[in-house]
Structure 1
Amino acid sequence: MLQIGELSKKADCLVQTVRFYEAEGLIPEPARSQGNFRLYDEAHLQRLLFIRRCRAIDLTLDEIRQLLSFRDGPELDCGEVNWLVDSHIAQVRAKIKKLRELERELMDLQRSCNPARTARECGILNSLAEAA
């Protein structure tokens, strides 16, 4: 059995993160010691590591909840898990598209700059002021 500090170290996260996931219902409530300390087992650690991997690929808490429900019901159809990942891929592609548009906009701003000018004549500042 692990106390919360030991669990957080093994999962490489903050104690507050463990408490947050517990409050969100992503990690089941652990047993308590006679001194009322939380006592986590290997299943808690594996679940926390799973959640951390999901967060590392930018899945939302709701998406993680869905994946955990499938993980907890291994007899369920995997097709919905695949659909969830497909949906997340579409979201990532949309973010990439927006980031590319932002990059082009910033590069256009940068091209308007002539470092030999004063701030009053700065193409970037003037372009930003015009856009406002």
Structure 2
Amino acid sequence: MLKEFSIGDLAKLTGVKVPTIRYYEEIGLMTAPPRSEGGQRRYGETARDRLGFIAHARDMGFSIEAIRGLLDLSEHPEKPCSRADAIARDRLDDVRRRIEKLKRLEAELERMLSDHRGGTAGECRIIEVLSDHRRCHGEH
């Protein structure tokens, strides 16, 4: 016997909020489910699994378009995995760029704090640096 879920149950099972599920239906990541005689959406296990996939991919920071491509591949198991590799590689490259940016930001914040002398707000090194980006040692 196949299980059916209300949208609320589906939200609880996957950790995805009801408005987000409806949004995914609007943009075509999820198909609109059949409705009960009372007009309630009724989702099956396939929808639960698909939403779980989407939620996991979003948690990993994949864009909606990347997820759309990955879902398409998952529906065509005969296709080569190279497209999935490329999508994941793009995401990894983005993560690495962000890490580098965060490292630069960390270094600048550490420098601001190490140069900080205390005193009054009028003498505050942190406020001076934030007031004039040229006082930073580089982009962050």
TM-score bin (small chain): over 0.9
- Specify the alignment match of 1:56 in structure 2: 59
User: How many matched pairs?
Assistant: 131
How do 1:1-132 and structure 2 match up within 5 A?
1-115=4-118, 117-131=119-133
Report SS of the residue matched to 1:32. Answer: coil
Letter in 2 for 1:89: L
Between the aligned partners of 1:90 and 1:20, the Cα distance in structure 2 is 28
- Specify the alignment match of 2:138 in structure 1: none
| Residue 13 of structure 1, CA deviation | 2.1
Between the aligned partners of 1:11 and 1:81, the Cα distance in structure 2 is 23
Between the aligned partners of 1:129 and 1:94, the Cα distance in structure 2 is 26
Output the aligned Cα RMSD: 1.2
| Residue 56 of structure 1, CA deviation | 1.1
Q: Which aligned segments of 4 or more residues in structure 1 are displaced greater than 4 angstroms?
A: none
- Structure 2: 5+ residue runs without aligned partners? 135-140
- Structure 1: 5+ residue runs without aligned partners? none
**Identity, % of aligned pairs?**
34
Between the aligned partners of 1:130 and 1:80, the Cα distance in structure 2 is 45
Q: TM-score, normalised by structure 1?
A: 0.94
Letter in 1 for 2:5: L
Between the aligned partners of 1:82 and 1:130, the Cα distance in structure 2 is 43
Report SS of the residue matched to 2:132. Answer: helix
Letter in 1 for 2:107: R
Between the aligned partners of 1:18 and 1:44, the Cα distance in structure 2 is 10
